[in-house]
Structure 1
Amino acid sequence: MKYLMRVKFSLRCCLLLVLLSSSSFAKELYVSVKGNDNNPGTKEKPLASLQKAQLLTRKINDAVTVYVRGGTYYLSAPLLFTKKDDRSLKTAVVYKAYPGEQVKISGGKPLQLTWESFSSGIKKAKVTNDVAFDQLFVNGKQQRMARYPNYNPDLRFFGGASEDAISPERVKSWKHPEGGFVHALHRHEWGGYHYEINGKDKDGKLDLRGGFQNNRQSGMHDKYRFVENIFEELDTVGEWYFDKRDKTLYLYPEKNTNLAKALIVVPQLKSLFEFRGTAAEPVRNIRIEGMELSHTLRTFMETKAPLLRSDWTIYRGAAVVMEGAEHCVISDCFFNTVGGNAVFMSNYNRNNVVTGCRIVNAGASGVCFVGDPNAVRSPSFEYAQFVPLKDIDRVPGPKTNNHPANCTVENTLMHGLGSVEKQVAGVEISMSMDIKVSHNTIYDVPRAGINISEGTWGGHLIAYNDVYDTVLESGDHGAFNSWGRDRYWHPDYAVMSEIAKNNPQLIKADVIKPIVIHDNRFRCDHGWDIDLDDGSGNYHIYNNVCLNGGLKLREGFFRTVENNVILNNSFHPHVWFVNSGDIFRHNIVMRPYYPIRVQDWGKAVDHNLFPDKESLLQAQKEGTDAHSLFGNPEFINPEKGDYRVKASSPALKVGFKNFHTDQFGVTSAALKALVRPVKLPVMVSELSSVGVEYYDFFGAKVKNLNTLGERSATGMATETGVLVLDVPKKSLLHGILMANDVLLMCNDQQIKNWNDLARVQSGLQLAQKIPIAIFRNQALKKMEIPVK
């Protein structure tokens, strides 16, 4: 018998060697949930695991396609590609779902449980396995941790938030809150914070760990917050709680759910595929195609790494992680409710592509391109930080090659992102160069659809994307958003102006290549359609349709904005530099401009089309638009989204040129069929007749802060307070207040609007110093008015 077994084993090995050496076998391997890793990997005798297929591909010197047959593959560890898996272009390997079959790659673990009734519709089951409980899926549907307030998809923030979520009164009712979580918006609605509960004291105050998920520390919002993973809050269908102390799972199942036959899956892995090479030894020419990727852990408590001076911190991980990869492709994959980011290209990456994918309900971002801060010259890591001018490295461009470049995300549908984290984007770009973002459809996101965190190092192409229903759970942001807090940028505007004036070579030291945004359609209902914030520079923006929020340029240099259609809104120039070099021309606007603190109007603001004579005259009073016109743009079919203009349109007389307005978003028929279309705006022709009221406060010109633009320009969390517009020399406040200050307190009284300030002013005694509090340069400052 032993002799026969040895003979069979020898024959099997010989057969395997013959198959490995044959040209026909070198092209295909097969994996099946019904396979066996002792099999040779043929179609008739497939392997059982991707890991075994990977080992066999390393022995094959020809191009290989690994066909994965239909079924769900539960990974116990991520499939890790290293230098051992490096392939040439001629010997590339493809891991591909077998045509016509559905392949699911899961980072979860299915549980076999015995359920019994607990109380009020809640079931419980003992868990004998040693598994992590971060998420729970029942028959493929994600359940929610027990939370307060209960989830309601119709509510804007978190699907339900409450001021009393962590009140001492509520906390006292929780026996063991440790292991629970507090989720909250940033106080200014600039993303979110997350905290783990370590315990509580006798007064009902929670001991929290976290709050590092936002790079602009201002504390959690006092209203928009909720708690989860609290046993006492398990009170509605679809919620669950796992008691770690006695390893008992509690679930309030939906009606008619047969738990005895239900598939219960709990995620265990943070990633499913990892490409781990270096610039010296990259992983090349590997393709993942046609699979569904799901059941990865949430990573919000690991979102810690700051992205220079943007508002972001980030977790350098995802369902698919690429670091040190070249010419690798993720194609036609469905990222289904992954717990964190879907795809993350970290540090050195070249010529990688994400194409034809679908990313739905990810806990964080869709596709991220993020380089190494050590590749940045003179980096700063928080808003208020600044490398002293004498110490700034003045050499343009990156210091090393440890960053993504020449990578692409295209023809990809993303929606429902940021289901956990709120400082996210469909596409995030930071410390990268020459990234192409084209023909993607992105909607239902809590913040930006596409975000560029700083100027390093430019060269990006943003084209033919359809981005809408954005900034749904935050504020002061855009469907497309960017910051430009590069090495010359200083948080004090006056200091920064001097630096830029005296050191012009620093302006493009980081954004060494122009960033091009063309032929996109953007819509934002809680901010701007295109928002270039805080020094964003070296942009060329043309042939875009802005459906609702308008276009904003704050600070920055060398932006050319031309041939765009801005519907039901206009141009928002904020806080411009002298000699910015900015150009705004050949655009169609439907409202007057909304300038804030603009004294110098750049290189050219002219040859634009306004909706009416009053709007044009208003601009011309500012010294712009000498050759602009006004009138009906005569769109061909705005009800259907055709914003080309007719031959008789006055827009053509100012240099506007028609461009296609029906080529946005994903291109594949399969993805197009899944898209929820954008809501096109109803054209509003009449302008508001309500004028702006100005007031005098000790000789200073002030007004109520009551617009989103003013909120953004000042950095305020809400539209409240009294905005200072001008402080002439004759004013008592000259040298004390500055334009763009916001008065929030006067004589120890809160100032919400001019009525509050007028009431306080009328009761002041003349021979006294008046304490005031203002908001300036993103910080609250206290000072005194020396009334004489």
Structure 2
Amino acid sequence: MPRLCQPARWPLVCRLICIVTVAIVVGCWLPPGFAADVFVAADGNDTADSSAQKPVATLRRALDRVREIRIAAGDRQSPIVVEVADGRHELADTLVLGPADSGTPAAPTVIRAAAAARPVISGGRRITGWELSKSGHWLAHLPTVADGQWQFSQLFVNGQRRFRPVLPAVGWYTIAAAVPPSPAAEGKGHDGFGFSAGDIRSDWSNIGDVEVVAVHGWAMSRMRIAEIGPGEGAGGEAQAAGGTVRFTGRTMAPTSWGEFPAGNRYCIENVGESVGTPGSWYLDRGKGILTYCPLPGETLAAAEVIAPRLDQLVRLEGDSASGRLVEHVLFEGLTFAHGNWTLPPAGQSFPQADINVGGAISATGVRHVAFVDCRVRHVGRYAIEFGGGCSECTVERCDLADLGGGGVLIGTSGGAGSWGEEAAVPRTVERITIRDTTIRHGGRIHSAGVGVWIGHATHCTVEHCDIYDFTYTGVSVGWIWGYRESRTHHIRIASNRIHHLGHGVLSDMGGVYTLGVSPGTVVEGNVIHDIASHNYGGWGLYTDEGSTGIVMRGNLVYRTSSGGFHQHYGRDNLIENNVFAAARDWQLQRSRVEDHTSFRFERNIVWWDSDTPLVNGDWKTGLKLRSNCYFNAAGPVRFPGDSDLAGWQQTGQDLGSIVSDPRFTNPAAGDFTLPPDSPVFALGWQPIDPTQAGPRQPPPIDDLAPVPSIWPERRQTP
């Protein structure tokens, strides 16, 4: 794909072309020179005429003015531009755009920041009227909380996330005993477990607001307490003078990944009696009192404390079934911040990737919608969601940071064989592009949130992005388990930096993860490194159940906990011309053997410097290996069956392969460049240029404060 356009340098002919096609090729954003039609300022007045001299106060009124201008102008041939002044623009309600807010190819609706401005579209409210308690804590009385109109589970102080109190203060509790599900949950899921003495207390105040966060391997459940009773361990498990906790809801499945087995980790959040650590806070909903324990140096006079009020900041609602879409809309230069998420009465439990929490910005039934040079931060969900009926949409040069969930959701979770309704028919989602965007610091509430999730979607692209600091997967593609028909195909994951994932919190993850049949899908040119799972499954490239017809080529993968590549099971995948280096447990893994060709593994370099094995699993049948280079700087390379290369080749595998030092420049420092006379070039190796991965023009990342994490493996003092 071409580099981003440079508007200030465009010749006239290019500008004219982009004027006509701005809503079609939305990656080329609106060139300068178009005067704004509608002006918005935080100190404006919605009864004003929306001129530069008399701006309106709200985006809702600004969009109403756009509708009026469009009706009056008839067949307008230039964009209708809303210009937003600097400052914090507090939304009274979610900003909803419907078909009537659409532009046209020649006259798109443009909502952009004023020159040199960085306006913040906020779903939060600044907390004022603080009092200082005798203990040094700050107290604020919030009547709208006390009367049930407002609740929140996030707080941001001076632009940084703060957390509610967490028990234990260090590490995790462990489940003492599994217990049978209650009659209401039997056969559907699990709704309780046994705990050790002192870990959960029935005398905690506001116990219905206490949240139990339990790990299931590759996901977490966040549950509300319904009751606490005596111990009732299942299966003969002993329980040391503790008790049983029952939840108001259940997990989504009665199978192993929905259980609460003995030994699994959990922590407890939002116990009022435990507030006191600097940087922690507690909301007593019944009394409407917010308590904040300030960090050293924070003062009542100078602190900006914001609590989110709106779950969604922007919602674009079209109807693809009737053809009434929201289309030809461009958002440019805006910051969207302070999105709420609160735990539902029945808790939150989802088997993988926490995709059911949705996005702070949500789109359904839209076409030719773009977010360019925007920021999303301090939200409790995913940042942006493109749901059913979305097509030809772009996120470009954006920065998505400090996210309760993941970065971008593309597609739907419905359809047979997925976790949606069996009878659901997903509306087409296609041609969504995420480009030159930084997606970072996610999973702050929903630990299984991923950088980019793509499900039941076609012809989508994630390219030149920088995705890092999540506790689960970087990019996830697919979402049909096994070989059933899939709507996902022709997905391109290319030239991204995907790194520092997992952090030892969850298991069973990948830098890039695929699932199901996906012909035409290509994963190429990515640099993936530092993937660390809790106890198993920290892979770089991971083709999970049923992955079929996928090409993974030209990727650099290093420093993973469980191998650079793993295939659970699948068919006819091609893994070629990749570097897999310096994995911890083993370098390559295969889990299930089937009676077809699972994958071809050709012209790859596998390098490591430890006494760990080359492979894990059965690598003898149902796969084809050839022309690879293997080298262990710490000792000999042993192939399946504990054979050397010659013995291994007698089985018909790895013909044309070599055991030889590829002569990387400095692998310890992550420099895997090769000299011209490296032996790998005789194998047909094609050079990989890792400098091409990541944003070509990085988005303007500002001085976002360090983003702390609640999970014990990553817990930081703000």
Contact 1:556 1:576 in 2 (8 A): no
Is the alpha carbon distance of 1:125 and 1:568 closer, same or farther for their aligned partners in structure 2, counting shifts above 3 Å?
closer
1:268 aligns with 2:309: yes
Q: What is the deviation of 1:614?
A: 4.7
1:72 aligns with 2:91: no
1:233 aligns with 2:274: yes
Is the alpha carbon distance of 1:193 and 1:619 closer, same or farther for their aligned partners in structure 2, counting shifts above 3 Å?
farther
Contact 1:177 1:200 in 2 (8 A): no
Name the structure 1 match of 2:558: 547
Q: Deviations over 1:484-503 (max 9, x none)?
A: 2xxxxxxxxxxxxxxxxxxx
Q: What is the deviation of 1:593?
A: 4.0
What are the residue-to-residue correspondences of 1:482-501 with 2, within 5 Å? 482-484=514-516
1:333 aligns with 2:348: no
SS in 1 for 2:682: helix
Q: Hey, what's the Cα distance between the residues in 2 that align with 1:198 and 1:633?
A: 60
Name the structure 2 match of 1:664: 693
Q: Hey, what's the Cα distance between the residues in 1 that align with 2:670 and 2:103?
A: 46
Contact 2:251 2:259 in 1 (8 A): no
Name the structure 2 match of 1:781: none
Is the alpha carbon distance of 1:596 and 1:333 closer, same or farther for their aligned partners in structure 2, counting shifts above 3 Å?
same
Q: What is the deviation of 1:129?
A: 3.0
Q: Hey, what's the Cα distance between the residues in 1 that align with 2:87 and 2:702?
A: 24
Is the alpha carbon distance of 1:613 and 1:446 closer, same or farther for their aligned partners in structure 2, counting shifts above 3 Å?
closer
Tell me how many residue pairs correspond in the alignment: 597
Name the structure 2 match of 1:155: none
Which of 48, 51, 65 is 1:56 aligned to? 65
Q: Hey, what's the Cα distance between the residues in 1 that align with 2:355 and 2:262?
A: 20
Q: What is the deviation of 1:619?
A: 3.6
Name the structure 2 match of 1:630: 659
Contact 1:125 1:249 in 2 (8 A): yes
1:83 aligns with 2:99: yes
Q: What is the deviation of 1:317?
A: 2.5
Is the alpha carbon distance of 1:623 and 1:70 closer, same or farther for their aligned partners in structure 2, counting shifts above 3 Å?
same
Q: Hey, what's the Cα distance between the residues in 1 that align with 2:507 and 2:413?
A: 28
Give the TM-score taking structure 2 as reference length: 0.77
Name the structure 2 match of 1:314: 355
SS in 1 for 2:589: strand
Amino acid at match of 1:90: A
Which of 259, 267, 282 is 1:218 aligned to? 259
Name the structure 1 match of 2:617: 596
Is the alpha carbon distance of 1:290 and 1:317 closer, same or farther for their aligned partners in structure 2, counting shifts above 3 Å?
same
Which of 34, 39, 54 is 2:43 aligned to? 34
Q: Hey, what's the Cα distance between the residues in 1 that align with 2:527 and 2:82?
A: 39
Q: Hey, what's the Cα distance between the residues in 2 that align with 1:111 and 1:674?
A: 23
Is the alpha carbon distance of 1:571 and 1:242 closer, same or farther for their aligned partners in structure 2, counting shifts above 3 Å?
closer
Is the alpha carbon distance of 1:432 and 1:563 closer, same or farther for their aligned partners in structure 2, counting shifts above 3 Å?
same
Name the structure 2 match of 1:703: none
Name the structure 2 match of 1:209: 248
| Higher percent of residues as helix | 1
Q: What is the deviation of 1:168?
A: 4.8
Q: Hey, what's the Cα distance between the residues in 1 that align with 2:172 and 2:476?
A: 26
Q: Deviations over 1:323-376 (max 9, x none)?
A: 001010111122122111100111111011111111112000100112262xx4
SS in 1 for 2:106: helix
Q: Hey, what's the Cα distance between the residues in 1 that align with 2:704 and 2:429?
A: 29
What are the residue-to-residue correspondences of 1:22-421 with 2, within 5 Å? 27-61=36-70, 62=76, 63-118=79-134, 120-130=135-145, 131-150=150-169, 160-163=171-174, 167-169=196-198, 170-186=200-216, 189-200=217-228, 205-212=244-251, 216-219=257-260, 222-260=263-301, 262-279=303-320, 280-298=323-341, 301=344, 311-312=352-353, 314-315=355-356, 317-371=358-412, 373=414, 376=415, 378-381=416-419, 402-421=427-446
Moved more, 209-218 or 550-559: 209-218
Is the alpha carbon distance of 1:251 and 1:167 closer, same or farther for their aligned partners in structure 2, counting shifts above 3 Å?
farther
Is the alpha carbon distance of 1:608 and 1:405 closer, same or farther for their aligned partners in structure 2, counting shifts above 3 Å?
same
Q: What is the deviation of 1:636?
A: 4.5
What are the residue-to-residue correspondences of 1:646-665 with 2, within 5 Å? 646-665=675-694
| Pair member with larger Rg | 1
Q: What is the deviation of 1:275?
A: 0.7
Is the alpha carbon distance of 1:321 and 1:251 closer, same or farther for their aligned partners in structure 2, counting shifts above 3 Å?
same
Q: Hey, what's the Cα distance between the residues in 2 that align with 1:674 and 1:260?
A: 22
Q: Hey, what's the Cα distance between the residues in 2 that align with 1:247 and 1:282?
A: 42
Contact 2:426 2:456 in 1 (8 A): no
SS in 1 for 2:144: coil
Q: Hey, what's the Cα distance between the residues in 1 that align with 2:651 and 2:373?
A: 51
* % identical equivalent positions: 23
Amino acid at match of 2:269: E
Is the alpha carbon distance of 1:425 and 1:459 closer, same or farther for their aligned partners in structure 2, counting shifts above 3 Å?
same
Contact 1:412 1:666 in 2 (8 A): yes
Q: Hey, what's the Cα distance between the residues in 2 that align with 1:251 and 1:621?
A: 69
Q: Hey, what's the Cα distance between the residues in 2 that align with 1:653 and 1:172?
A: 69
Q: Deviations over 1:359-397 (max 9, x none)?
A: 112000100112262xx4x43549xx9x9xxxxx9xxxx
Name the structure 2 match of 1:491: none
Q: What is the deviation of 1:530?
A: 0.7
Q: Deviations over 1:202-253 (max 9, x none)?
A: 8864442345478931226745221122111112111222222222222222
Q: What is the deviation of 1:673?
A: 9.0
SS in 1 for 2:672: strand
Q: Deviations over 1:472-523 (max 9, x none)?
A: 2211221112222xxxxxxxxxxxxxxxxxxxxxxxxx53x32100100112
Q: Hey, what's the Cα distance between the residues in 2 that align with 1:305 and 1:238?
A: 25
Show structure 2 runs of 5+ residues with no match: 1-32, 71-75, 177-194, 232-242, 481-485, 640-644, 706-718
Q: Hey, what's the Cα distance between the residues in 2 that align with 1:73 and 1:312?
A: 31
Name the structure 1 match of 2:526: 520
Q: Deviations over 1:443-490 (max 9, x none)?
A: 111010111242532110000001111122211221112222xxxxxx
SS in 2 for 1:434: coil
SS in 2 for 1:58: helix
Q: Hey, what's the Cα distance between the residues in 1 that align with 2:304 and 2:164?
A: 18
Q: What is the deviation of 1:255?
A: 3.0
Give the TM-score taking structure 1 as reference length: 0.71
Q: Hey, what's the Cα distance between the residues in 1 that align with 2:306 and 2:51?
A: 30
Amino acid at match of 2:576: E
Contact 2:572 2:598 in 1 (8 A): yes
Amino acid at match of 1:180: V
Name the structure 1 match of 2:500: 469
Amino acid at match of 2:501: T
Name the structure 2 match of 1:567: 581
RMSD over aligned Cα atoms: 3.0
Is the alpha carbon distance of 1:544 and 1:27 closer, same or farther for their aligned partners in structure 2, counting shifts above 3 Å?
same
Q: What is the deviation of 1:644?
A: 3.7
Amino acid at match of 1:566: F
Contact 1:135 1:297 in 2 (8 A): yes
